[in-house]
């Protein structure tokens, strides 16, 4: 049976790098953030942290905390016809509940964890949308309080601690991929 795996974690923890491991293993990627970026483009907004947060929160106010999952179900279903799917940027508990109800025992959550100190250093150095420590802290608080990110991380089927090297993150992620694809 084909699998749906959501990779969760706080900004800068290494989610995108873990998702790359899934893609390299043949998983098809669904990025919930594309829905927000598409809306920002429609509204003529510049892509930056402030506009992204404002748009994401406005969309969820109108469509509910599970809307990104609801809007992505057709794409996930279509890709499942071809193979396994990895979901990037599932944040809320409500999104988790929607995907868990739809895909049941074939849905898994991988949490990538890195300490705030490690994450803030990474976020300041990234090429796309770099964040200052203050911006990173603000985003953390927003995601925890407004987007309900804690639930999916707490209930994850597997946690990868990413405090060292990229190679270590890749090794741990690939071990999990092997576990679920050989079931």
Residues of the chain with pLDDT under 70: 183
Per-residue pLDDT, 57: 83
For 38, the 3-state DSSP assignment is helix
Per-residue pLDDT, 52: 87
Per-residue pLDDT, 150: 94
Query: Within 13 Å, how many C-alpha atoms sit on residue 67's CB side?
Result: 15
How far apart are the C-alpha atoms of 165 and 183, rounded to whole Å? 28
Query: Which pairing describes strands 107-113 and 4-8: parallel, antiparallel, or unpaired?
Result: parallel
In this structure, are residues 163 and 114 in contact, taking their beta carbons and an 8 Å threshold?
yes
Give buried/exposed letters for 98-125 (b at 16+ CB in 10 A, else e).
Answer: bbbeebeebbbbbbbbbeeebbbebbee
Per-residue pLDDT, 48: 84
Domains of the chain: 4-181 (3.40.50.300)
Phi/psi of residue 164, nearest 5 degrees: -120, -115
Per-residue pLDDT, 97: 97
Beginning with the edge strand found earlier in the chain, give each strand of the sheet holding 85-88 in spatial order. Answer: 28-31, 85-88, 4-8, 107-113, 158-161
The length of the chain in residues reads 183
Query: Which pairing describes strands 28-31 and 85-88: parallel, antiparallel, or unpaired?
Result: parallel
How far apart are the C-alpha atoms of 54 and 56, rounded to whole Å? 6
For 88, the 3-state DSSP assignment is strand
Kindly report, residue by residue over 83-108, the tens digit of the pLDDT.
999 999 999 999 999 999 999 999 99
Got the DSSP string for 96-165? HHHHHHHHGGGEEEEEEE--HHHHHHHHHH-SSS---HHHHHHHHHHHHHHS-THHHHHT-SEEEE-SS-
Task: Check residue 89 and report its DSSP letter.
Answer: -
């Amino acid at each position: 049976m084909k699998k749906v795996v959501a990779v969760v974690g706080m900004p800068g923890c290494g989610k995108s790098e873990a998702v790359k491991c899934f893609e390299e293993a043949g998983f098809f990627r669904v990025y919930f953030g594309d829905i927000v970026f598409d809306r920002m483009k429609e509204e003529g907004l510049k892509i930056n942290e402030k506009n992204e947060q404002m748009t994401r929160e406005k969309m969820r106010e109108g469509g509910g905390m599970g809307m990104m999952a609801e809007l992505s179900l057709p794409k996930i279903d279509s890709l499942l016809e071809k193979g396994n799917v990895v979901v990037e940027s599932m944040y809320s508990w409500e999104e988790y509940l929607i995907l868990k109800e739809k895909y049941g025992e074939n849905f898994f959550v991988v949490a990538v964890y890195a300490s705030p100190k490690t994450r803030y250093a990474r976020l300041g150095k990234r090429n796309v949308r770099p964040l200052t420590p203050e911006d990173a802290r603000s985003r953390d608080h927003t995601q925890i309080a407004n987007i309900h990110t804690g639930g999916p991380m707490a209930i994850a089927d597997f946690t990868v601690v990413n405090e060292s090297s990229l190679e270590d993150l890749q090794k741990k992620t690939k071990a999990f991929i092997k576990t679920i694809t050989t079931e």
